[in-house]
Chains A and B, each alone.
Chain A
Amino acid sequence: AQSVTQLGSHVSVSEGALVLLRCNYSSSVPPYLFWYVQYPNQGLQLLLKYTTGATLVKGINGFEAEFKKSETSFHLTKPSAHMSDAAEYFCASGGYQKVTFGTGTKLQVIP
């Protein structure tokens, strides 16, 4: 069974600082991995995904994530936070049919 752990339910960064949101997965087979973002009162939208191939994945809005099999991690980063990045971020892992979501990390950006 797939499971996803997001470390830190709340992360605060200053505007312009590095954003690092942590995600670890457990899977008995190579997983599909996703990061979704949820802005207040909206549905989730895909930031990026890893299926196969290059382990460094670039997404929208300047975000990227690196798949590290040895660490079972898929951390999300952005070099410089912007006020508009304030949102809830969900890491997700997929097996055959079902995607399992982590519990989410709320990113606060301080001016």
Chain B
Amino acid sequence: DTAVSQTPKYLVTQMGNDKSIKCEQNLGHDTMYWYKQDSKKFLKIMFSYNNKELIINETVPNRFSPKSPDKAHLNLHINSLELGDSAVYFCASSIGVGTPYEQYFGPGTRLTVT
């Protein structure tokens, strides 16, 4: 019974295309996140939502747009994909906002832009 799920697991696309990654959590958590992990395994937060409200928006190109239709879902849409967008994108959730709370990570989506 998957706690945090992401689709697709792999995404291969060409430069200039638009793509979306979907995330769902069945933990009843209020807060969800998107992280980007580069080829050197460096993990950087991109966005965080609490009860569908954006609370963290790091320095991310505005080609990236998160959307939270409800507390259980946080999708990531990327416009005009670039080579540098190639990475593994992780969705995560936590019971509340604030760092004492453990984050539960999805399995990741490996995006390859050619």
* A residues neighboring B (CB under 8 Å): 32, 34, 36, 38, 41-46, 49, 51, 88, 90, 94-99, 101, 103-104, 106
Asked if B99 and A98 sit within 8 Å, CB to CB, the answer is yes
Compute how far the CA of A104 lies from the CA of B44 in the bound complex, rounded to whole angstroms. 12
Residue ID in chain A nearest B6 by CB atoms: A43
Asked if A43 and B108 sit within 8 Å, CB to CB, the answer is yes
With a CB–CB cut-off of 8 A, which chain B residues contact A95?
99
Q: Mark B38-61, 1 if CB is under 8 A from A, else 0.
A: 001111110010000001100000
Interchain nearest-CB distance for A92 vs B (Å): 8
**B4 near A: Cβ within 8 Å?**
yes
* B residues neighboring A (CB under 8 Å): 4, 40-45, 48, 55-56, 90, 92, 97-100, 102-108
With a CB–CB cut-off of 8 A, which chain A residues contact B56?
97-98
With a CB–CB cut-off of 8 A, which chain A residues contact B42?
101, 103-104
Compute how far the CA of A98 lies from the CA of B57 in the bound complex, rounded to whole angstroms. 11
8 contacts between A and B (CB under 8 A): A34-B102, A36-B105, A43-B106, A44-B92, A96-B99, A97-B48, A97-B56, A101-B42
Asked if A46 and B99 sit within 8 Å, CB to CB, the answer is no
Compute how far the CA of A103 lies from the CA of B27 in the bound complex, rounded to whole angstroms. 28
Asked, given contacts A43-B107, A43-B108, A98-B48, whether A49 binds B102 with beta carbons under 8 Å apart, the answer is yes
With a CB–CB cut-off of 8 A, which chain A residues contact B100?
32, 49, 51, 94
With a CB–CB cut-off of 8 A, which chain A residues contact B43?
44, 90, 101, 104
Asked if B107 and A97 sit within 8 Å, CB to CB, the answer is no
Asked if B106 and A99 sit within 8 Å, CB to CB, the answer is no
Asked if B4 and A97 sit within 8 Å, CB to CB, the answer is no
With a CB–CB cut-off of 8 A, which chain A residues contact B90?
43-44
Query: Which of B41, B45, B98, B104 meets A103, CB within 8 Å?
Result: B41
Asked if A45 and B105 sit within 8 Å, CB to CB, the answer is yes
Asked if B103 and A99 sit within 8 Å, CB to CB, the answer is yes
- Not counting A32-B99, A94-B99, A101-B42, a sample of 14 additional A-B residue pairs whose C-beta atoms are within 8 angstroms of each other reads A32-B100, A34-B102, A36-B105, A43-B105, A43-B108, A46-B102, A51-B100, A96-B98, A96-B99, A97-B97, A97-B98, A98-B99, A99-B45, A104-B41
